[in-house]
Amino acid sequence: MKSSKKLVTSFLALGFSLTYATSPAATQECSASSGKHTVALLELYTSEGCSSCPPADRLLSSLPARELGADQVVPLALHVDYWDYLGWRDPFAQNKFTKRQRRMGAVNGLSTIYTPQFLLNGKDFRPWRARSVDKEVADINRSKARAQLQINLKQNAAQLHIMASADVPDATDRHSADAYIVLYENKLSRHVKAGENAGRTLNHNFVARELVGPIRLKSGGVTFDETLTLAEDWKTKDLGVVAFVQDRRNGDVLQALALPVCQ
């Protein structure tokens, strides 16, 4: 469907406070660091109000089963809000995701935005058959990473604390680099009662719940610290955090990193 601060080269600290009515438990910690090769970022712009979107949602969800792991590709589903007028308001849609899609459309020289749309490392990606995803991801993985990322999580029954770092060694890359943090959730399901998908039960994974950025990287750096309260129906065990660095001029993703919450 178509529709006409210190995160730096060295450090980013970001804290989310998640509040639940549960008893305290032992703190769990986990961490991940990016490697020497580039991990692909695969963004899907989708909507529960779009009848052509479910196949794209299924393709995104199928990546782990097809042995495309987080060391190869980081998937994200960003639900947009411009199809809500068709009769079904997508509960996962946010206008900030629509704005990001419009910005990326401009970077790609597109005259319009549409759903479902895949962006692979910031580039409009079609056709998006599974075999073509495999090939393009493998090509990206052969490139040397131009950014270094780390995510550290500390979690108990009441809170999830996130600390992340981003480093762009090359001064030319750093000059036009922005960093992003995304909180996502898996294993989501909704029975759609109206609109183009009326009567269908739709299943989703890698659904963006919060997007922080763009945060400009500077040689001196900017400290970023934030506390977010999650909705009560968000499932802690199905959450994860993504960090990525992107060139604002051409959309190139310098590196991406994903980390599920500690289990």
Which range among 126-140, 161-175, 212-226 shows the weakest confidence by mean pLDDT?
212-226
Q: Are 135 and 151 within 8 A, CB to CB?
A: no
Average pLDDT in the 183-204 region? 95
Q: Are 215 and 228 within 8 A, CB to CB?
A: no
pLDDT digits (tens, 9 = 90+) for 53-92: 999 999 999 999 888 999 999 999 999 999 999 999 999 9
Average pLDDT in the 106-126 region? 94
Bridge partners of residue 119, in order along the sequence? 43, 124
pLDDT digits (tens, 9 = 90+) for 8-34: 333 333 434 333 333 345 778 899 999
Average pLDDT in the 151-159 region? 77
If you search the block for the tokens 């934030």, which residue do you land on? Answer: 226
How many angstroms separate the first and last alpha carbons of the chain?
38
pTM: 0.87
Cβ of 26: how many Cβ atoms within 10 Å? 7
Enumerate residues 6+ apart whose C-beta is below 8 A from 204: 57, 61, 77, 92, 188, 189, 190
pLDDT digits (tens, 9 = 90+) for 108-117: 999 999 999 9
pLDDT digits (tens, 9 = 90+) for 224-256: 556 556 667 888 889 999 999 999 999 999 999
Please state, for a pLDDT cut of 70, what percent of the chain lies above it.
84
- Report how far residue 170's alpha carbon sits from residue 57's, in angstroms, rounded to the nearest whole number: 36
Average pLDDT in the 100-112 region? 95
